[in-house]
């Protein structure tokens, strides 16, 4: 118990004293997670809208595929991205392996199915009379699209929050394609794994506390969106 309390004491000191190594990992995590969630939303929102709004051949197969990808192991995603970005891979000439860009690519693939699935579900759960009502009122396709997205806004925000929570807490992708390079690609999760194994328990606790705060904020945001959705 004393060991844990001493670790907590040193962890708070690291955060309070703005320890450069600790905050480097925090900043890298926020940087790659922000890039990843933006890319996931940019690609996933249109795909999710199309999957939930339109009927087309193979729609059921696409839904099953997206739902399967929701539980895809992060280490497998990291392995696939590594294979493509390695020197022998088809994208090896880009020189992206062991960079923050490589982590963003991998984390985007992790968040993309979440955004697509929650967006599609949100669109499908809208009142089926919405489209016909809008068309009856003379709305053009752009107005139909924007109104539909607005009506599903809480589902879209939930999708973003869920994807961000999964992205910032993953470790397999960051470790494999980022290389856990100090001051460059070391994130919160990879730093926790490395520093704890090295015996630097206090840094692991400090970074773990930051991760817990982020998880709490994400859950609070999700709870707010769920409450608002039920109120409407």
- pLDDT one-digit tens code per residue, 107-146: 999 999 999 999 998 888 887 777 778 778 777 877 877 8
Counting the structural domains of the chain, the total is: 1
Please name which of 86, 108, 103 lies closest in space to residue 190, comparing C-alpha atoms. 103
Residue 42's pLDDT is 93
**8 is in which domain, residue-wise?**
2-231
Between CA 56 and CA 52 the distance in angstroms is: 10
For tokens 């600790």, name the residue.
22
Between CA 176 and CA 156 the distance in angstroms is: 30
Which residues in the chain come in under a pLDDT of 50?
Answer: none
Between CA 130 and CA 124 the distance in angstroms is: 11
Reduced 3-state DSSP string for 194-224: HHHHCCCHHHHHHHHHHHHHHHHHHHHHHHH
Tokens linked to 99:
């960079």
Tokens linked to 142:
């752009």
164, HSE (Cβ side, Cα atoms, 13 Å): 22
CB < 8 Å & 24+ apart, contacts of 178-181: 178/32, 178/98, 178/99, 178/100, 178/102, 178/103, 179/97, 179/98, 181/98
Residue 232's pLDDT is 59
Between CA 208 and CA 192 the distance in angstroms is: 7
Between CA 188 and CA 211 the distance in angstroms is: 7
Residue 37's pLDDT is 94
For tokens 């994400």, name the residue.
218
Read off the CATH number of the domain in which 215 is found: 1.10.3720.10
Residue 112's pLDDT is 94
């Amino acid at each position: 118990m004393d060991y844990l309390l001493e670790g907590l004491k040193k962890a708070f000191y690291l955060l309070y004293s703005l320890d450069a190594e600790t905050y480097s990992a925090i900043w890298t995590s926020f940087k790659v997670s922000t890039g990843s969630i933006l890319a996931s939303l940019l690609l996933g929102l249109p795909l999710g809208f199309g999957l939930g709004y339109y009927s087309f051949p193979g729609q059921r197969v696409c839904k099953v595929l997206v739902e399967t990808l929701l539980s895809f192991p992060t280490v497998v995603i990291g392995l696939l991205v590594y294979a493509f970005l390695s020197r022998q891979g088809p994208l090896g000439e880009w020189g992206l392996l062991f960079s923050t860009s490589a982590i963003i690519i991998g984390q985007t693939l992790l968040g993309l199915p979440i955004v697509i699935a929650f967006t599609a579900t949100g669109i499908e759960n809208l009142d089926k009379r919405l489209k016909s009502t809008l068309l009856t009122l003379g709305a053009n396709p752009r107005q139909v699209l924007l109104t539909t997205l607005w009506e599903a806004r809480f589902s879209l925000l939930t999708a973003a929050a869920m994807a961000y929570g999964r992205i910032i807490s993953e470790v397999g992708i960051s470790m494999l394609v980022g290389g856990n390079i100090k001051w460059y690609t070391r994130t919160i999760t990879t730093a926790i794994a490395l520093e704890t194994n090295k015996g630097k328990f206090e840094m692991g606790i400090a970074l773990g506390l930051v991760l817990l705060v982020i998880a709490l904020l994400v859950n609070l945001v999700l709870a707010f969106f769920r409450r608002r959705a039920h109120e409407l």
